[in-house]
Amino acid sequence: MTTEPHRLVEAHSCPMSTCRAPAGSPCRTTAGKVALKYHTARFQLVPALRAELHVATPAVRHPGSAWAALPAASPAAVPVPMEVRLGYARVSTRTQEIQSQLDALEAAGVHRLFSERVSTRVRERPEMKATLAAAREYRALGARVTLVVHEMKRLGRGALELLKVAEELRDAEIELEFLTGPLAGRHDPAGHGAALFAFFAAMAESERDYIRDKTLEGQETARAKGKVIGGVKVSDGDMLATAVRLRDEESLSLREIAARLVIRTGKKRGEHPSAATVMRMLREHDAQAAR
């Protein structure tokens, strides 16, 4: 398979009116010299090179010398992209089992396998980043690339996160394949797969919103039954009285007051409360006094 960028570019004739170099020849300048780099309108005809800012003319074409048409490459020399299959596996915690994903990906015939143990809540996922970087490199060489994952939630749960991945795949012309789940099968993000992917991404976001709403509803129900939501209370009557005196009589700051107080019960026994705890304690006291 031909992977040299200049041969990929020269498989096309240059569409620039000032060049019109035929297929098989490098681009030329208006002065009749071999151009130092291929014209943008020409190398963008190659999908793998569309993201490049420029593609240099190689030394074998003698850039700067007098331009002459070269024999066009035979049709058999036009590169036929091979497929590279990259597998990605992920679990959220170290205790979760990942081997079943790895086995399924290997059975699906992936050429390279990337895996990591990291939550989708983490912004930077090193192996996911490495997978996409490798996919772009193979595409730049003219290969057809498919990213294979076990199921959609291995890529991410939030709509914005999933759509970001889909956008990267679309821009790099990388296909996506799910082995299981509602999206099982191969999908081209640049075609109908884009709309389907966006739909299930929105469904994932709706599911997360539902879980969050049910959690808040459960907390409200617990509060109504008198249960404490949040951390264990560290203040007591003596601590409150001391804090009020230090504020009103000695005019100390919240940090200074916190440094004078000591927690007497619980896991934090013997430690100083935070300035935020002191502020909350004094605010609740002032509210009760006002009532």
Q: Please, are residues 43 and 36 in contact by the beta-carbon 8 Å criterion?
A: no
Active site residues: 92
The pLDDT value recorded for residue 39 is: 93
What does the alpha-carbon distance between residue 232 and residue 236 come to, in Å, rounded to a whole number?
12
pLDDT bin (cut points 50, 70, 90) of residue 204 is low
pLDDT in tens, 31-78: 999 999 999 989 888 877 877 888 999 999 999 999 999 987 654 444
Kindly give the residue spans of alpha helices, DSSP state H, lying in the chain. Answer: 5-10, 40-43, 99-107, 126-140, 159-171, 192-224, 237-248, 254-260, 275-290
Average pLDDT of the residues in 5-17: 89
Torsion of CA 211, 152, 127, 129, to 10 degrees: -90
Two tokens, residue 261: 């107080």
Two tokens, residue 123: 């912004």
For residues 66 and 223, the model is more confident at 66
Number of alpha carbons in the 13 Å side-chain half-sphere of residue 191: 6
The pLDDT value recorded for residue 80 is: 41
The pLDDT value recorded for residue 224 is: 74
Q: Please, are residues 49 and 5 in contact by the beta-carbon 8 Å criterion?
A: yes
pLDDT bin (cut points 50, 70, 90) of residue 218 is confident
pLDDT bin (cut points 50, 70, 90) of residue 26 is very high
pLDDT in tens, 132-180: 888 888 888 778 899 999 987 788 766 667 777 777 888 888 888 999 9
- CA distances (Å), 54 to each of 29, 40, 72, 164, in order? 15, 7, 23, 26
What does the alpha-carbon distance between residue 113 and residue 149 come to, in Å, rounded to a whole number?
10
The pLDDT value recorded for residue 215 is: 78
- Is the Cα dihedral 187, 189, 193, 199 positive or negative? positive
Judge: domain 83-205, CATH 3.30.1330.10: no
Cα radius of gyration rounded to whole Å, the chain = 31
The pLDDT value recorded for residue 74 is: 57
Q: What are phi and psi of 55, to 5 degrees?
A: -125, 115
What is the model's pTM?
0.46
The pLDDT value recorded for residue 101 is: 92
Two tokens, residue 256: 């200074």
Q: Which residues belong to CATH 3.40.50.1390 in the chain? A: 83-205
Average pLDDT of the residues in 103-117: 90
